[in-house]
Each structure stands twice: as C-alpha cells, then as structure tokens.
Structure 1
Amino acid sequence: MADVEDVKKAINNKNQVIVDSRVAERYRGEIEPIDKVPGHIPSAVNFPWTDLARFYEDYDESKIKEHYKDLAGYDKIIVHCGSGITPTVNLLFMEAAGLSPIFYVGGYSDWISYEDNEVVKEI
C-alpha cells in the first residue's frame, strides 16, 4: 500500500506513475460530486475504472495487456480513486496484465486533505 508520502515522491520520479481510476470528468476537474476540490494529483494519468467493463464480458489477457501497455516500463505503479473503492478494478486487471500495482488507500480524498498538496485541473 502507498501513502501520501509515496505519492509525493512519485510525482517527479520518471520511473514511477500515479494512476487515477476515477471517471475522466472527475480527473479533469469538470465535476466533483464527493470531494471539495476538483481535479487530480499532479503527473497522474487517467485509467477510468468504467473503461474496464468490456473485459468482464470478453476476458482476453492480450487485450488487457494492450490496455495497460503504457504502464509496463514503470518501476512503481500507484493506483487510486477518490476514496478507495473503484481502484480495485484497475488493480485486478493490472495484475492480470502482469503488472504489480500499489494501492493508495486514501486516494484523492486523502490527497486534498493536505493544504499544501497541489491539484491540477484540465478545464
């Protein structure tokens, strides 16, 4: 598991990646139904958990690996969402793709609870 300090270290580490599992609109900061600050953690990439539903109906390991191909070169993959529920979908499929993700349990809700933590909006 990862904590806020692990995430801070990953932001500027080219060998680590932060994966945001929330829907794209929340990631970009267009909507935020739960947290008081919209946006995402700096340097995070978006892999919405909702994009994975197709793999439930048509489980194909090669397609799953293709979905995550851009993450294959990282030493550490930290996965989160808003409060800790939806990253489990990404975590399971990443493991099926041969990756070794780490769960940031507090997620975006924890990140914004620290006043000094930067938030990025893409709107």
Structure 2
Amino acid sequence: MKRLLVLLPLLLGANEDFISHYEYGEMLYNNPRGVSCSQCHGKDGAGTTIVEFRDIHGKQAIKGSDIRKDSLQAMIKSVSNYHEIMPRYYLTDEEVKAIYDYLQKKNENYLETSKENNSSK
C-alpha cells in the first residue's frame, strides 16, 4: 500500500504533456527536418541574411523573409509549396500551428507595437 501511495502523484500527472506547446513550436522552428527555420528567418522570425556575394551587378544578398506578421494560413501554404530557396518540410498543419504560436508568443511585444503603430496612422 505504501508503494501505491508513493506512485500515486506520478500516475496523476501522467496525462500532462512532456513538453509545452510553446516548447514544441520552438523545437520545430529550430530543427523541423534537419534544416532550421531560424537559419534563414532568424531567431525570432525577422529574417536574416543567408549569403552575400558579388556578381556583375555588384554586391548581392539572399535573405530570409520576415515571417513575424504572416498569418497561420500563409505559413501553412508557404511550408507546403516549393520555393527557389526554401526547402519543403512536409510539416503537418498542427506542426506549422505550433511554430506559428511559438513565433506569436516570442514576438508579442513587437506585434503589439506594430499593431499600435498601424492603428495610429
């Protein structure tokens, strides 16, 4: 009986997730299928320079886009389609939603400030 009482708290907590929805989104964003979203879109989704080079037109740069303001539907569509540079990840809609929610939470202050600035114009 004593052993059962010791195990009872563990059994009661068995229904809880191992990681939170936020942590799951962070994990997927940082390494969804071997190529990190953050390598091109930056640690917070603001975009970053992937590579700089010179050609006949001078200095050029390939940059990852700012995805902080993208809608969930835009992200699902983008991840599901082929692009010249971005690999196709084959993420489920639920996985993209976790990434979307992670970016929304991570960028709360930026998005709120941006919303306020747009409404004051």
Query: What TM-score does the superposition give when structure 1 sets the normalisation length?
Result: 0.28
Select the structure that is richer in helix. 2
Higher Cα Rg: structure 1 or 2?
Answer: 2
Q: Which has the higher contact order (CA 8 A, sep 6+)?
A: 1
TM-score (norm 2): 0.28
